[in-house]
Structure 1
Amino acid sequence: MNIFKDILCVVDIREDCAAALERAVTLAENNQASLTVLDVVDRITAGIGMPDGGPISADLQSAIVAADMQALEELVDPYRKRVSIKVAVRKGTRFMETIRQVLTNGHDLVIKVTEKLDWFDRLFGCDDMNLLRECPCPVWVVKPQIKKSYRVILAAVDTDDGYPRAELSSRDAVNREILEIACSLALSDFAELHVVHAWQAIGESAMRGALMHTPEIKIINYVEQVRRQREIKLNRVVHEVTSQLGKGAAEYLNPQIHLIKGGARKEIPELAEQLKADVIVMGTVARTGVPGFIMGNTAETILNQINCSVLAIKPSEFKTPVTLED
């Protein structure tokens, strides 16, 4: 199953980016995809005695870009025997120029190593989070430790029907894409595939409160009904995706399904830690078609708790707020 066709690997030649580059090259090999390696340098702005656009600032900017391009060529040269690689250098803010590169060239995956954050007790930095929020294509942020292959892949899906009708089809499409990507990665890495959905029965606490006096048997039946509905839909979407792989691949994958009662913000990070997951494949947009909803609070909370790589998916209709103009 070839998922990606045009991969963009974002590096910083001043940092260790071998993990992202190795993963990108391997992914390009397995998917027969094109690969571009991008670095972003600071834009030279006016300083004392150096006007914007003047000959000194222009020459300095050109020298910085040329030096970075040469360093990029040297970085990717050992991998050229495996895949064809293009290199590019852009000027400006790293996450914004990455998104502009995607908008200009139509890349269908961005892969980068996490930022180096010695002073934060979390994995993803501001640049990572901005890409996860605003990049229109899937974003894969990998931990800096090189792993030739992953052992455990966790796909987090949302099979809750309690959304507006117009939103349900988009969520179903995202669920399928999450599972398709997770299946592809699990097959290529010979990894375990786990699928998780955290669910809650809305109103259960109120039904147990003093004001409603709901009989316990009714509460139990209601909660079980919700659980069963989520189980049926989760099993259905997993079967729909794995059946497309062919009998042999589907039987080999044999995804382990986790239907967990509780909030996703708590249960998904805990399961990832319990499984020692290498990567979580998950959606990040809360509401489609609602201005300002770049990343859902649940997704942001999960990302701030996990300590593994993440591959984040957005709906196809997602529009980035970043434009090609500064």
Structure 2
Amino acid sequence: MIKYQRILVVVDPVAETQPALHRAVSVAALEDDATITLFLPIYDFSYEMTSMLSSEERDEMREGVVQGREEWLKTLLEPYADSKVHFDVKVVWHSRPFEAIIHQVQDGHHDLVVKSTHKHALIQSFIFTPTDWHLLRKCPCPVLLVKERDWPMGGHILAAVNCCSDDNAQETLNNKIIAESAEVARLLSATLHLVNAYPITPVNMALELPDFDPHAYNAAVKKHHERALYEYAVRFELEPKVLHLQEGLAEEVIPRCADEISASLVILGSVGRTGLSAALLGNTAEHVIDKLNCDVLVLRPDSPAT
């Protein structure tokens, strides 16, 4: 059973509204004894470069800036004065925001990071900052990227699983994704859906192997994925009508399915934090996230590979 009780909200210093805070309060309201920490890393290079001030004077000026931003964070909490959630605020002076966030996650033992994304007014798509991508690759706890759609009670949640691998680590991650998605769906009285994309028949195989039957191959691959998806459905007591198996690339199938069911939240997994697995994340999960119009919760394995 999931427990998001120590939630870290990354504040956007230039936004007029803070959708990440609003969403975090909604999540915290589903739990007992939840704490939300508003976190803001700030840095001004000019304070480091001036030669007219002593180091003590620079420290005092930095401390003054930090205190001023802490007071601003407290004003963001005024609309939630009647909430039962406990709030903290923290501002740190750090030149690399994602490193500051990860350090805070580790030091504060946070179990969820909530951060808003930016919407591009012209093309109506969401722009992800380098901080977003670093968090997806390296944050040790789940990351919730917030857009602008609410989570309605009785809505739809989409969990994306990968049934094409016989790897035990992937199966464990699939189980975790479905289990946590089921709990979120229960808390929101929502319907949980599963989606899995199976690969298109490689064209080169049909060209290079004269006896290769692409239709038989495609049917065999589809049957394998159907069987695996059905086994997950049985394990988690899901009805066949909430299973979505589609041919194609994950970065195309998952957003399309999310639109078809009007999902308010998509939950998917990320394996590994460095090296090749991080590069693969950039090729798959990041492309999926960029095409979604709803919130995205990215989960990690309990024992992530490094």
Q: TM-score range by the shorter chain?
A: 0.7 to 0.9
1:68 aligns with 2:63: no
Unaligned runs of 5+ in 2: none
- Is residue 2:137 matched to residue 1:136? no
Check 1:147–1:220 CA distance in 2 against 1; reply closer, same or farther (3 A cut). Answer: closer
Query: Identical aligned pairs, as a percentage?
Result: 28
Instruction: Give the direction of change, closer, same or farther, for the CA distance of 1:145–1:274 in structure 2 (3 Å limit).
Output: closer
Cα displacement (A) at 1:276: 2.9
**Matching of residue 264 in structure 1 with residue 268 in structure 2:** no
1:227 alignment partner, one of 222, 230, 234: 222
Work out the CA distance in 2 between the residues paired with 1:145 and 1:277.
10
Q: Distance in 1 between matches of 2:49 and 2:267?
A: 44
Per the TM alignment, residue 117 of structure 1 is displaced from its structure 2 partner at its CA by 4.3
The one-letter code matched in structure 2 to 1:113 is S
- Tell me how far 1:17 sits from its aligned partner: 4.2
Q: By how many angstroms is 1:15 displaced?
A: 1.6
Shift of 1:301: 1.9
Tell me the alpha carbon deviations over residues 52-110 of structure 1, each in whole angstroms, 9 at most, x when there is no partner.
Answer: x7133212111111111112222224424321122211222322211111121221110
Q: Against the structure 1 CA distance between its residues 82 and 311, is the aligned structure 2 distance closer, same or farther, given a 3 Å change threshold?
A: same
The CA deviation at 1:6 is 1.9
- Alpha carbons of 1:130 and 1:184: their partners in 2 closer, same or farther (altered >3 Å)? same
CA deviations 1:124-169 (Å, max 9, x no partner) are 422222222221211001114555657332111101125xxxxx22
- Is 2:107 the partner of 1:104? yes
**Structure 2 SS opposite 1:101:** helix
Distance 1:50 1:132, change over 3 A: farther
Given the alignment of the two structures, is residue 198 of structure 1 paired with residue 197 of structure 2, yes or no? yes
Q: Deviations over 1:185-206 (max 9, x none)?
A: 2222232322100002665x34
Q: Residues 149 and 294 of structure 2 are in contact (CA less than 8 Å); yes or no, is this contact kept in structure 1?
A: no
Measure, in 1, the Cα distance between the counterparts of 2:256 and 2:150: 24
Deviation at 1:42, TM superposition (A): 1.6
Q: Is the 8 A contact 2:148 2:294 kept in 1?
A: no
1:214 aligns with 2:211: yes
Match 1:89 to one of 91, 106, 115: 91
Cα deviation, 1:292-315, whole Å, max 9, x if unaligned, reads 432241112222322222111122
In 2 relative to 1, CA 202–290 (structure 1 residues): closer, same or farther, beyond 3 Å? farther
Q: Distance in 2 between matches of 1:265 and 1:169?
A: 23
Q: Which residue matches 1:323?
A: none
CA distance in 2 between partners of 1:95 and 1:50 (Å): 31
Residues 119/56 of structure 1: CA separation in 2 closer, same or farther (3 Å cut): farther
Note the 1:50-61 alignment, pairs <5 A.
50=52, 54-61=55-62
Query: What TM-score does the superposition give when structure 1 sets the normalisation length?
Result: 0.80
CA contact (8 A) 2:5 2:111 kept: yes
Structure 1 unmatched ranges of 5 or more:
163-167, 244-249, 321-326
Alignment partner, residue 125 of structure 1: 128
Displacement of 1:275 in angstroms is 2.8
Secondary structure of the corresponding residue to residue 291 of structure 2: coil
Does the aligned pair in 2 maintain the 1:2–1:30 contact within 8 Å? no
CA contact (8 A) 1:284 1:296 kept: no
CA shift in 2, pair 1:142/1:289, >3 Å: closer
Structure-2 residue corresponding to 1:293: 277
